[in-house]
């Protein structure tokens, strides 16, 4: 079906009275984040973001806890992809300690990080759908995400807050067998959703073959999502040509992640500053040029496909060997100095700056999260738009309030 191009909405200031209201912290559309909006008629004239409703003081707390007991705290900001929040911490501490981790640990870290990235993107799409009125997308995505979380649970022991990473490796090894009940449930779900029975070799209890079966199933489901949601009128009418962010503005405002790639800049920390097993794997970076809400959603969709490719290659190439450097005591001492480390979480680039004093606790730990860097873009894009455009713009940026407030 052919859609007409919408005209750009300009600021229509009647000169009449203005109304200021609070798009408040109790709102099903925004979560725990508040925006103070000033309108004139139906057009937004000014928007002031008001974060701080989930500020728990992580940076001050990190100075009271040792290097390893800090890890469950640092996962909690973006709880959906806990791997993405802890990897740069481990990289920075390993830089300060001057150690190199074994090969099997690198591949295990990559697999769990990509599983968390897929789970986070699926949750993003489910919320994006339900707040635009498309409830089926919510139920389908949240259900499919359960099988990805089961894989994560088999490797690490927990659904999403696993604390699986330590400076020096990972905590446990991947298993060899998958329980029988899980394979039966997967077979039932597969036959209901795809419409045919899975082939016999996909239903084995060996761990690597089960992972390959789940990735194949996810790829077939991604085609269904495209037909049902990304190509339907409910979505396209509200999202085409809304919130256009041009290339110069995206660079000048310093936005990270999916937003940057949807505006035409090809930048990904996994390729530009590689870590773990990424130098040995082949994948591409999806880039689009339009910069509107549709482009951001499609970049996220393509990233799920690339993540599935990475998992498949990593499972096949994983070497044997130890998965941790040595058995750490709970209290380790890190030599003096300062270092900077970064990685790519699901939403963008995370930077850690750590100053160490030679004792068993950090002196200063600073984390610069991608959601905090998206605030100038939120302010820039909503001025001039209409009130009904705030949900598509807000959800397409993938702003997570807990991560911005830490």
* Segment near another protein (CB under 8 A); pick from 109-117, 119-127, 293-301, 305-313: 119-127
- Of 136, 284, 366, 388, the residue at the interface with another protein (CB under 8 A) is 366
**Per CB under 8 A, 284 contacts another protein:** no
Residue 370 CA to residue 257 CA, distance in Å, equals 7
What is the C-alpha separation between 239 and 169, in angstroms, rounded?
43
The answer to the question of residue 80 lying near another protein (CB under 8 A) is yes
> Distance (Å, rounded) from C-alpha 268 to C-alpha 208?
28
In this structure, the chain runs to a length of 406
Instruction: Please state the closest distance from residue 267 (CB atom) to another protein, in A.
Output: 6
The answer to the question of residue 116 lying near another protein (CB under 8 A) is no
What are the φ and ψ backbone dihedral angles of 274, each rounded to 5 degrees?
-70, 155
Nearest approach, Cβ of residue 121 and another protein (Å) = 13
Rule CB under 8 A: is residue 145 a binding residue for another protein?
A: yes
Give the other-Cβ count within 10 Å of 31's Cβ: 16
Candidates 155-163, 198-206, 235-243, 293-301: pick the segment binding another protein (CB under 8 A): 155-163
Options 36, 39, 45, 79; binder of another protein; rule CB under 8 A: 79
Helices of type H across 157-206? 180-194
How many CA atoms within 13 Å lie on the side-chain side of 389? 26
Tell me the three state secondary structure of residue 248. helix
- Environment class of 241 (CB within 10 Å of its CB; exposed 0-12, middle 13-18, buried 19+): middle
Given a contact cutoff of 8 angstroms between Cβ atoms, the answer to whether 302 and 296 are in contact is no
Stretch that binds another protein, among 38-46, 211-219, 323-331, 369-377 (CB under 8 A): 369-377
Q: How many residues sit close enough to another protein to count as binding (CB under 8 A)?
A: 68
Q: Candidates 38-46, 198-206, 212-220, 335-343 — which segment interacts with another protein by CB under 8 A?
A: 335-343
Helix, strand, or coil here: 330? coil
Q: How far is the CB of 253 from another protein (least distance, A)?
A: 5
Nearest approach, Cβ of residue 367 and another protein (Å): 9
Does 139 help bind another protein (rule: CB under 8 A)?
A: yes
Nearer to another protein, 255 or 318 (CB): 255
CB 365 within 8 A of CB 136: no
402 binds another protein (CB under 8 A): yes
The answer to whether 250 and 260 are in contact (CB under 8 A) is yes
Contact 334, 356 (CB under 8 A): yes
What residues line the site for another protein (CB under 8 A)?
Answer: 24-26, 28, 31-32, 51-57, 59-61, 64-65, 72-73, 76, 79-80, 95-96, 123, 126-127, 139, 142-143, 145-146, 149, 159-161, 251-254, 260, 265, 267, 272-273, 336-340, 342, 349, 351, 353, 355, 357-358, 363-364, 366, 368, 372-373, 375-376, 402, 405
């Amino acid at each position: 079906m052919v859609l007409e191009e919408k005209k750009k909405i300009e600021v229509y200031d009647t000169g009449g009275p203005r109304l200021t209201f609070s798009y408040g912290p109790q709102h099903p559309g925004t979560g725990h984040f508040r925006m103070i909006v000033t309108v004139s008629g139906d057009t937004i004239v000014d928007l002031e973001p008001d974060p701080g409703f989930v500020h728990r003081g992580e940076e001050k707390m990190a100075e009271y806890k040792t290097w390893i007991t800090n890890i469950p705290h640092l996962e909690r900001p973006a709880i959906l992809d806990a791997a993405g929040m802890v990897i740069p911490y481990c990289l920075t501490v390993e830089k300060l300690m001057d150690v190199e981790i074994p090969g099997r640990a690198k591949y295990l870290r990559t697999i769990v990080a990509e599983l968390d990235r897929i789970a986070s993107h699926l949750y993003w799409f489910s919320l994006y759908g339900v707040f635009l009125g498309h409830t089926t997308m919510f139920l389908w995505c949240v259900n499919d995400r359960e099988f990805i979380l089961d894989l994560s649970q088999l490797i690490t022991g927990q659904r999403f807050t696993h604390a699986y990473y330590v400076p020096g490796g990972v905590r446990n090894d991947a298993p060899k067998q998958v329980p029988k009940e899980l394979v039966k449930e997967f077979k039932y779900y597969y036959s209901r959703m795809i419409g045919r029975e899975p082939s016999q070799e996909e239903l084995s209890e060996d761990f690597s073959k089960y992972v390959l079966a789940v990735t194949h199933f996810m790829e077939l489901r991604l085609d269904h999502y495209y037909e049902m949601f990304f190509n339907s009128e409910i979505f396209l009418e509200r999202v085409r040509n809304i919130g256009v962010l041009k290339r110069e503005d995206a660079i000048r405002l310093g936005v990270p992640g999916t937003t940057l790639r949807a505006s035409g800049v090809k930048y990904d920390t996994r390729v530009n500053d590689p870590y773990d097993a990424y130098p040995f794997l082949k994948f591409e970076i999806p880039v689009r040029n339009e910069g509107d809400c549709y482009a951001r959603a499609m970049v996220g969709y393509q990233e799920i496909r690339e993540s599935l490719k990475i998992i498949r290659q990593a499972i096949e190439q994983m070497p044997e060997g130890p998965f941790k450097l040595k058995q750490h005591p709970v209290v380790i001492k890190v030599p003096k100095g300062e270092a900077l480390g970064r990685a790519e979480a699901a939403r963008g680039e995370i930077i850690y700056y750590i100053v160490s004093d030679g004792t068993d606790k950090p002196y200063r730990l600073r984390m610069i999260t991608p959601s905090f860097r998206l605030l100038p873009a939120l302010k820039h894009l909503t001025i001039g738009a209409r009130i009904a455009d705030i949900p598509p713009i807000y959800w397409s940026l993938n702003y997570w309030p807990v991560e911005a407030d830490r």
